[in-house]
Amino acid sequence: MKSYRKELWFNVPTRRAFINITPQVEDCLKESGVREGLVLVNAMHITASVFINDNESGLHHDYETWLEKLAPHEPVSQYHHNRTGEDNGDAHLKRQVMGREVVVAITDGQLDFGTWERIFYGEFDGRRKKRVLVKIVGE
Ligand code: ZN
């Protein structure tokens, strides 16, 4: 069995963003040489997500609006977590809703997606360097 590991680095210039990381994951898959197996992609930070959905800008706008309704960034004083001196209480909650990781089947050397599925990095507390882990196992 082959095993491959890589960290993807991000430094998003805004507090929040959604980034299509499908091309980077496909590059990892090529590099791994795995033809049949599984790929795990997970955020290595508790204020960022990796999720699968449609690469459609209206949907990403809707996520932003929905998440801000669920867990508004301001006032930052509404979160007990921010009593530690942080201001990212909302980002922890947004990450919980959008998830930590995805697993995608690898078939014949390709990501075995549904028609509109793409992999996204969701940043909820950006403006600093953060990592995503890509782990591929198979043969
Ligand atoms: Zn925090």
**What is the distance in A from the centroid of ligand 1 to the CA of 107?**
38
3 contacts: CB under 8 Å, gap ≥ 6: 135, 136, 137
**What is the distance in A from the centroid of ligand 1 to the CA of 89?**
6
**pLDDT confidence tier of residue 120, bands split at 50, 70 and 90:** very high
The neighbour count for residue 119, using CB atoms within 10 Å, is 25
CATH label, 2-138, candidates 2.60.120.460, 1.20.1070.10, 3.40.50.10490, 2.102.10.10: 2.60.120.460
Task: State pLDDT tens for residues 41-51.
Answer: 999 999 999 99
**What is the distance in A from the centroid of ligand 1 to the CA of 85?**
9
CA dist 138 and 27 (Å) reads: 16
CA dist 18 and 3 (Å) reads: 28
pLDDT of residue 108: 98
**What is the distance in A from the centroid of ligand 1 to the CA of 84?**
8
**What is the distance in A from the centroid of ligand 1 to the CA of 43?**
15
Averaged pLDDT, 119-127: 98
**What is the distance in A from the centroid of ligand 1 to the CA of 40?**
25
Supply the DSSP string of the chain, one letter for each residue. -EEEEEEEEEE-SSSSEEEE-HHHHHHHHHHHT-SSEEEEEEESSTTEEEEEE---HHHHHHHHHHHHHHS-S-SGGG-GGGGGS-S-HHHHHHHHHH-SEEEEEEETTEE---TT-EEEEEESS-SSEEEEEEEEEE-
pLDDT of residue 50: 99
Task: State pLDDT tens for residues 53-98.
Answer: 999 999 999 999 999 999 999 999 999 999 999 999 999 999 999 9
- Report whether 122 contacts 98 (CB < 8 A): yes
**What is the distance in A from the centroid of ligand 1 to the CA of 91?**
8
